[in-house]
Amino acid sequence: MARPDEHQSPGGAATIEISGAGDTPFLEFSNRSWLLRAGIGQRLNPGMLQHRPTGDVVADADYCYRLTLASPGPGGFTGTELESRSVRFTSWNVEEDHARGETSLTLIGRFDFGALGPTDLELSHRFTLFHGSDRIDEQLTLRHRFGRDEHSVESFRFGFRKVLFDHSTRSWRDGADRRTLTGIPFRRFQGQAKDYRMTGYTAADLVPDNWNGDNLPARPSEAWSWGDGERGYVIGKYSQGHIEFAAIDGEFFTPASAGGEDSHSEAAKTGDVCLRFAGAGRVNAAPGGPIMLSGTSRTFEFGVTSIVPFAGGWQEGHRTYATLQRERGHRLPRASTRPCTGTSCTNWAGAAAPTLPSKSRRSCGRRPNLLRASVRRPSTSILCGTSSKAVPSGIGSASDHWMTLSAGCGIS
């Protein structure tokens, strides 16, 4: 199965190579911008992600695959609450869209719930590289493979891991202590009896608190930027099917090879501190409602996570995210020349902006107007500003917010 092989897309967008032997084969999926290395032995592990132009290793520890099934009800799998923390690799495939300049690699595996657990739940993990674009996309899909058992997903967390603090050397890795995590579009949301306290989070802020569980950032955001002021990466979630936020958090992690159980064991509390990001997770109760997988409801598709590099400070991260949303079609009409308001910005690209009474027009920075617009049309876009690039809002201070409220991701 793990024979040396190579695949070169006709458009030059991506290359796939397989190497290794025995129990440790791995697959490399790459283009000029990104290199993804995935273990495809007994366990699926796309644990290494590198940005090639800068040499930054964006992820360097085991990928997190954690899925918990609720205690079964009538017609469900007979047993107690079960948890899977690994995926057994089964196959992979490649798809190419020459017109769009995209190459997608899909890794497929089966959730491992142990000897007595169900075997009918499958994961499809898709990565997409773009010819001529410095971006990588990721999307996960849960699938019920066969049978009549019904499964209710209690909790889940999937994501890359990047070691911030190396326990063995007692030091920050790869300059993690110089980086800051910033929410997009709101750096700090303050209002409605909620205050997220900080406009940015250092690596030290992200170290988990084992005593009271008050871990940062502990807040919803449709995207994040992680950078050192000179360069960084935007990590954004995009979903038109349901509300979903970009999941990111710090965790203690000890790989099995180091003698630990996993990131949630007692032994792991002295392990490395990792940033866990991208993938999917339940944040602020979203996606809402139970995820049911059965013979009649066979799949659940999470939103797309995009990772995009940028040069500069957090402001450039916000501009990069705004550009990404405009590429997806969420923008003001090209013919529009008037200032944007919280109501008039809620149109699809190309749609005519409504004519509003003058008394209805409010400042782009007025929070109530923005919230009403977002609640009324959760699948539309708000790009606030008087020009093609984002400008500071009037909520709080200009340093607190950078308005690029975008489509289908809920209210941050």
Tell me what pLDDT residue 315 has: 96
- Which tokens belong to 257? 């090879």
161, pLDDT greater than 90: yes
Domains of the chain, residue spans: 5-311, 342-412
- Provide the token pair at 232: 């960084």
Q: Which of 301, 284, 276, 324 is nearest to 411 (CA)?
A: 284
Tokens of 313: 């400070």
pTM of the model: 0.77
Instruction: Show Cβ contacts of residue 253 under 8 Å, excluding neighbours closer than 6 positions.
Output: 61, 62, 161, 163, 262, 263, 268, 271, 272, 273, 274
Full strand arrangement of the beta sheet holding 26-30: 5-8, 15-19, 26-30, 34-40, 44-51, 56-59
CB atoms within 10 A of CB 117: 15
Written as six digits, the tokens of 365 are 């920075």
Residue 308 CB-half CA count within 13 A: 24
Which pLDDT score is estimated for 33? 96
- Strand partners for 181: 201, 226
Q: What pLDDT, in 10s, does the model give residues 304-325?
A: 999 999 999 999 999 999 999 9
Its CATH architecture, for the domain 5-311, is Distorted Sandwich (2.70)
Q: What is the pLDDT of residue 402?
A: 38
Backbone angles phi, psi at 90, to 5 degrees: -125, -40
Asked which of 73-82, 310-319, 354-363, 368-377 is least confident by mean pLDDT, the reply is: 368-377
